[in-house]
A and B are shown apart, each in its own frame.
Chain A
Amino acid sequence: MPVYFLEIIVVALGLLILMVDAFVKLEDKRTLAWVGMLGLVVVFALLFRVQWPESTEGAFWQFYSANDNLALFFKGIAILCTLGVMIMSYDFSGVVVDQTADPEPGAHPQAGLGEFFALPLFACAGLMWMASANNLVSIFVSLETVTICFYVMVAYLRRNVGSLEAGVKYLILGALSTGFLVYGFAWLYGVTGSMDLAEISAALAKPDVNQAAALFAFALILVALTFKVGGAPFHFWIPDVYQGAPTPITAFLSIGSKAAGFIVLLRLVSPFLASGELVGKVTLAIAIIAGLTLLIGNLSAIPQKNFKRLLAYSSISHAGFLLMALACTPRSSDASGALSKPVTVIAFYLGAYLLMTILAFLVMTVVRRKIADETFDAYTGLAKRAPFLSAAMLIAMASLAGIPLTVGFWGKLFVFKLAVEQQQWVLLAIGLIGAGAGFYYYLKIAASMYLGTPDPKKQVIDDTPIPIGNVARIAMILLMVGIIVAGVNPSLILGLLD
């Protein structure tokens, strides 16, 4: 099966959900989530059976031909991430119905729920397309498909002021970064005379390239993508948007949006890094952003009290580690071994990040159904009330902190190894400080879950167990097993990247 069928299937699945929602009278619209989940599982299975076309030269699909395992790996991340979001949305649908309720008489009691299950699929198709995009036009269109879907999803709870505010903030800053991106694309096109990444790479490698204009284009693109991945100093939207958005969408933003930002960053920065004239300045700029992001993300996370805000700062700090890997690109092409390449390290890190972040958000969504409070107080002494959920959260937090025997440990270790190889000592020091701060703020939650006693002044004491849906329980078990198994043997994930 040709590989571009995957995106078509995902878009068709989204359209199917919209059509069924519009024309079939369903008792319970959560059935649509089942359709989406099953479809995504099928697409994920098909991912292992695709063939790359022999040549796309001159073909209709020529803009879609970054044909490497990296593209497949990122498609896999996009599908699994969307699947996790659908599982969370299924559990979260009660809140969505409450916050979007239509007061008109005769309306379906779950009106407005169907689109909540279709939009992630359209975003997923955009993410998958972006993984293969090899042309400025296809990068732009797929990136905007994802971003516009996200605008709607973030502002989805239209009776909730927080969600609307988050939506407006995301809209303005997302559109601002789009403006920078297209202006950068225009200049890149002006400097190189081409839209194709391979031709751009060849044009930038020539000695007579206009360096000032190329660096201007690079700066504009870097600003735009730093916005998208949440790097400092353009990270300020992340905490507000993450806090206001519906929880499943926060998870989608923190993984899908970040993975998308990084694949585009990798593809767009590599022509600049391959150019002998520009590589020094480009690396320095990325290294400065990486250092700032690591410091701001980790140090601002320490005083947080709201769980979603903490995960927002945690997502900033992980973006810092990923940018740090990108800043450690080997100067010479003779660096051997897959782990000497930032591309492999970044892909591994994102795979690990997917497992642990989905797990953390899944636990949060389930807890949120019983406890409306999103601050840490809700988690104090949770271990007695919900031992399974606490164990899952403990593993997620341990992996996010990077404790050995979890997959998060290897992700950080590979980044640090890369920094040592490239002798980026300042970045390495900042990274170690960040990782140390991470131990404190992640394990603080774990400690309060297991050792803390609920304070009657801060929360309602309630010892009834928290119900967990079967799908969510299975997903949590799979994610926990994945984190531990890949933590013992990281070559399982690395094998997919060769």
Chain B
Amino acid sequence: MESALTLNHFLFVSGVLFAVGLAGVLIRRNLIVIFMCLELMLAAANLTLVAFSRFNVQDGEPGYDGQVLLFFIITVAAAEVAVGLAIIVALFRSRETTDVTKINSMKF
């Protein structure tokens, strides 16, 4: 018997992940937590890609294009974290806070 898991199960989980990540970005105030939630959104996209790739069978093989994009996303996310944490640390040194509501020196 084929596995009882269908494409919809994967899409549902990844949709929930994406929603949790987005809600975290919008609601949380700590920069580090916001950054973690952003990574969660990328993970949701990765899960969607793998699921579509696995269920998009052509000539008996899954479509590998989606899985290739996934590796690029992981790499780019790592680069983004490296740069992002450096910027957050530099900001923390000068402002001594990671609370986004206190980062408001520019107003017109």
Chain A positions near chain B (C-beta within 8 angstroms): 136-137, 140-141, 144, 148, 151-152, 155, 158-159, 161-162, 164-169, 171-172, 175-176, 178-180, 182-183, 185-187, 189-190, 193-195, 239-240, 243-244, 303-306, 309
Contact = CB atoms under 8 A, between A and B. Distances in A.
A152 B34 CA distance: 19
B5 interface: no
A274 B84 CA distance: 38
Given A172-B25, A186-B46, 8 more contacts: A137-B65, A141-B76, A151-B84, A158-B90, A168-B91, A175-B35, A179-B18, A195-B68
B105 A175 contact: no
Category for how many chain B residues contact A: 35 or more
Contacts of B48: 183, 186-187, 190
A172 B44 CA distance: 17
B42 A178 contact: yes
A162 B105 CA distance: 7
A165 B91 contact: yes
24 contacts: A148-B80, A162-B105, A164-B95, A165-B105, A168-B31, A168-B103, A172-B25, A175-B38, A179-B42, A182-B45, A183-B18, A183-B44, A185-B49, A185-B69, A186-B46, A189-B53, A190-B56, A193-B58, A195-B65, A195-B66, A240-B106, A244-B106, A304-B108, A309-B108
Contacts of B1: none
Contact of A148 (B58, B83, B88, B94): B83
Contact of A164 (B35, B38, B87): B87
* Chain B contact surface mostly: helix
A158 B89 CA distance: 11
B43 to A, nearest CB: 10
Interface pairs A-B: 9 shortest CB-CB:
A179-B41, A190-B52, A186-B48, A182-B45, A183-B45, A195-B65, A164-B91, A144-B76, A175-B38
Contacts of A171: 83-84, 87-88
A176 B25 contact: yes
Contacts of A166: 106
A189 B91 contact: no
A271 B84 CA distance: 34
Nearest to B81: A175
A195 B70 CA distance: 12
Contacts of B80: 144, 148, 151, 175, 178
Contacts of B4: none
Contacts of A244: 106
Given A172-B34, A179-B21, A164 B90 contact: yes
B38 A172 contact: yes
Interface string B79-104: 11001100110110011000010010
Nearest to B68: A137
Nearest to B55: A190
Contact of A186 (B49, B58, B90): B49
Contact of B63 (A169, A175, A193): A193
A366 to B, nearest CB: 24
Given A144-B76, A161-B105, A172-B34, A186 B66 contact: yes
Given A136-B69, A189-B65, A182 B42 contact: yes
